[in-house]
Each structure stands twice: as structure tokens, then as C-alpha cells.
Amino acid sequence: MRAAALIVAFFVLTGLSLAAGRNWLTPVALWQGLAAGPAEDFLIWGLRLPRVICALTVGAGLGLSGAVFQSLLRNPLASPDVIGITQGAAFGAVARLLAGGAAMAGAWGGGLLAMCMIFGLSLTRQQGIEPRRLVLYGIATGITASAGLNILITRAGDAAAGQAMAWLAGSLNGRGWPDAAIAFALFLPIGVGLTAASRVLDRIELGDDLARVLGTRLALWRPLLILAAAFLAAGMVAVAGPLAFVAFAAGPIARGLGRGGPNLPGAAFAGAMLVLLADLAARVLAPSALLPAGLYTAVLGAPWLIWVVTRRISHGQL
């Protein structure tokens, strides 16, 4: 019953996203446009459909990445946008943008550089990657990247600073088929690989000692999965900008929909729905302003962060 409701919600939200805009389409017009094909209906096939696919893919990638980090580090606060990876990607993208290059390449480089720094600082000879240290060093790295980002924007010219701020807001405005293809080509292999490792994540969540008893090679699996999830998150940020709190909120939502354990397909679904809903809100609530989707994901995610922190404090976990 729950699965059927989620499938219906997916198709309804996708249909609304294709129909919404300054020129709303009726269900009949939407169906006719989809049936006509790209040569006959540019509005749907050239503008709205690639944007919807991009939203779904970016959201799924961010949600999956966040769920993997939270399972590996056994901490609901350990998502790419909390532990510094997103901030590193944003710094790299803006630095590249201000230098006259492509933001996408800079975002990948910045995100992976941030992850390598966090990875190196949290590595110990006795325990390998220590989860608590990784979270703390990640937060510190994120603050450092944000400070560097502010310096770059302050020293840039008005036009360049405006362009950088527009990218930092996180938006799907103007995203077309090339962006959707890049996001999907990145998400598909990494997403399949991470989902296939669900059993490993189940064991790691039981604790390091028990995971080793069950035959899990933590020294191999933890860094491998962390790097894959970091690369995926950096790639999604490169395509759509830093969409705040999607990676953070998708994992817990998926656990609530499932049986409480790691639910990677559910996290990908929740992330996709969050981004699609935020982009739909951006086009429906203020169609003339075209406010960025990242604004709406922040509005949705910030209260969730406060609730998670408050709950963990009340349980003596922080």
C-alpha cells in the first residue's frame, strides 16, 4: 500500500512539474505534447523534460550520497552538506568561475580536494578512519571553505560576484539535456555500486567490532564507499549547485519509510522528490522571479536539522 502511494506521488509530482510554469498545461495538452515528440513540442521536450530529469537525478544522487555517509559514520549529521564536501565543491566552482573556466570542473575538484583533506586528517594508524574525527574535521573544513568562498566573492567584481552568488543559490534554471545527461551518466554507475553495497552498510552500522567479526574489511570498504559517495555528491553539486539539506534529510526520511535500517533506494527516491518539489515551488510560487530551488530546499531542510540536533541532545547523543 505504501509503495503504491509513493509511486502515485512520483507520477503526480512529475506530471505537475512538466505542466507547471508561466504557461500551465492541461493534462490533455501535456499528454499530446509528450506524444508529439521533440520535433513538435519544444516547451516540454526541450525545456521542461530535461529540467525534470535533471532534478530527479541530482536529488537522487544527493540523497543516496547522504544516506551512505550517515550509515558509514553512524551519525545522522554526517552528510556532504554538513561535513564540508558541498562547501569544498562550492569553493572550487566559484574559484574556477571567477577565473573564467567552467564551474562544473571546479566543483568536482573542490569537492574531492575537501574530501581528501578530511580523509587524511581523520585517518589513524590504529582504527583507520575514525567516524567522529571525520565529522569534526569535516565541519572545520566546511567552515574554512566557506570563509575562502566569502573572500573570493568579496574580491571579485560586481558582475562576477553576481554570477557566483547565482550559482551558489543552487538552481535548475536553464538546465538542459547536456546537464541531465552528465548527471545521469554519473549517477547510474556510482548509484548502482553504492546500492549493491547495502549489506556492507548494514554490517558497519552494527559497529566496527561486530562488522569485523562478520567478515567486513573495514579498511577497504569504508574509504572506498566514502570516496564514491563524495564523488557522487560533488558531481551533483557541479550540475545544479549546492542544494542545501537534500543529502541531509533524504536518509532519515527513507528510514522512516522503511524498517529503520539503511534504505539506499528510499534515500535516492526521497532526495529526488525533495528536489523536484523545491523546483516546482520555485516555478509555481514566484514564476516571474524564478527563485532558485536551493532556497526552498533550505527552507525545508533547516527545521529538520534543528529537530535532529535537538532530538540527539535530548537523548544524550551530542
Alpha-carbon distances, residue 25 vs 28, 30, 33, 51, 58 (angstroms): 8, 6, 9, 16, 25
DSSP-assigned letter for residue 22: S
Whole-number pLDDT of residue 258: 67
Whole-number pLDDT of residue 272: 92
The per-residue pLDDT string of the chain (318 residues; one tens digit each, 9 = 90 and over) reads 667 887 888 888 888 888 887 788 888 888 888 888 777 778 888 888 999 999 999 999 999 999 998 888 887 777 888 888 889 988 998 888 888 777 788 888 888 888 888 888 877 766 666 777 888 888 899 899 989 888 888 887 777 777 788 778 888 888 889 989 999 998 999 999 998 888 888 888 877 778 788 777 877 888 888 889 988 998 898 888 888 888 888 888 887 776 666 788 888 998 999 999 988 888 888 666 667 888 888 877 777 667 766 766 676 655
CATH code linked to domain 2-314: 1.10.3470.10
Whole-number pLDDT of residue 312: 62
In 3D space, the residue among 265, 255, 224 whose CA is nearest the CA of residue 74 turns out to be 255
Whole-number pLDDT of residue 6: 79
What are the start-end ranges of the H helices in the chain?
A: 2-19, 27-36, 42, 49-73, 85-98, 103-122, 131-155, 158-168, 177-196, 198-205, 208-213, 218-240, 246-257, 264-284, 293-314
Residues 67, 59: Cα–Cα separation, whole Å: 12
Whole-number pLDDT of residue 58: 94
Whole-number pLDDT of residue 20: 83
Whole-number pLDDT of residue 317: 56
Report pTM. 0.88
- Coil, helix or strand at residue 31: helix
Domain range list for the chain: 2-314
Query: Which positions ≥6 away from 121 have C-beta within 8 Å?
Result: 133, 137, 141
Whole-number pLDDT of residue 50: 92
Residues 61, 189: Cα–Cα separation, whole Å: 11
